[in-house]
Amino acid sequence: MDESRLPAIDELVVLVEARAAGQPPASRLRIAIDVGHDLTDLGDILIGRFVAEAREAGLSWTQIGELFGTSKQAVQQRYGTARAESDAWPGRWTPTARRVLDQAALEARALRHDYVGTEHALLALVSVDDGVAAEILAGLGVTRERLLATSCIQSAPDTETPQGRLPMMPRYKQALEHTRRIADGLEARSADTEHLLAGVVAVRDSMAVEILRRLRVRPVAVHAALAERLQVDPRRLGAPSRRRRRLLAGSR
């Protein structure tokens, strides 16, 4: 393909056909949707790279906003702090998952919290994700409005949040470890938002799970819905058993 031009629609169809060979129409459509999401994410990354270049060249957020035809606040929120946070997530993550992780940090700052926790990841999943995790949560009645209405997610007193990256709570780190393990166990090339949701609810004593319980959504219901959607055994989406954890610890 000529690198100076964008891929033609027929080339994208060939890509989908190759990935969906022998699969039923519903699966073929899902693969096409996934490819479309990947293209959107790649476009966002592409724009973000040149936004950073423009900033380094001295363009103000007001000038960049004018090029987008929007306000400086809108463009700064999308390509400012979030882009700086994305380096904090080592490992293989899809662009959408990185965007959710970035948004979790932004949610924490908006609430004037001096840390990032599983509750912020849950907020990000229902706010910016357009994939499997968001569909599952919506189907279970979990919305941004309902999350913010719980007493567990409250703005801190009117104080400044620290500059730089916010520290991650231990349960959040544990959720990210579960996420990567679940993605690897499902042989996913990169961890996506569905793996992140599974990882978050796998930490049974996390704030996110407590919030879901208050909304009458049990972790087992989330895992069951994810398993049905991904067509896998629900046990592959949970935390390892205590016996298995002891065996793994003993093997280190």
**Poorest-confidence range of 43-52, 56-65, 178-187?**
43-52
SS3 191: strand
pTM over 0.85: no
Tell me if 171 sits within 8 A of 115, measured CB to CB: no
Residue 81 makes CB contacts below 8 A (sequence gap 6+) with 102, 105, 106, 109
Measured between alpha carbons, how far is residue 29 from residues 10, 20, 21, 80 in Å? 16, 9, 12, 34
What's the pLDDT tens digit per position in 53-105?
887 788 888 899 899 888 877 777 666 654 444 445 666 888 888 889 988 98
Contact 125, 134 (CB under 8 A): yes
- At the second CATH level, the architecture of 89-244 is Orthogonal Bundle (1.10)
Q: Which residues contact 67 (CB under 8 A, 6 or more apart)?
A: none
**In terms of Cα–Cα distance, which of 196, 198, 189, 192 is closest to 232?**
198
Residue spans of the domains in the chain: they are 8-88, 89-244
Candidate from 146-155, 165-174, 226-235 with smallest mean pLDDT: 146-155
Contact 15, 8 (CB under 8 A): no
Per-residue pLDDT at 235 exceeds 60: yes
Strands (E), 35-116: none
Q: Sign of the C-alpha dihedral, residues 107, 110, 116, 118?
A: negative
Per cent of the chain over pLDDT 90 is 25
Chain segment 153-177, per-residue pLDDT in tens: 777 665 555 556 778 889 999 999 9
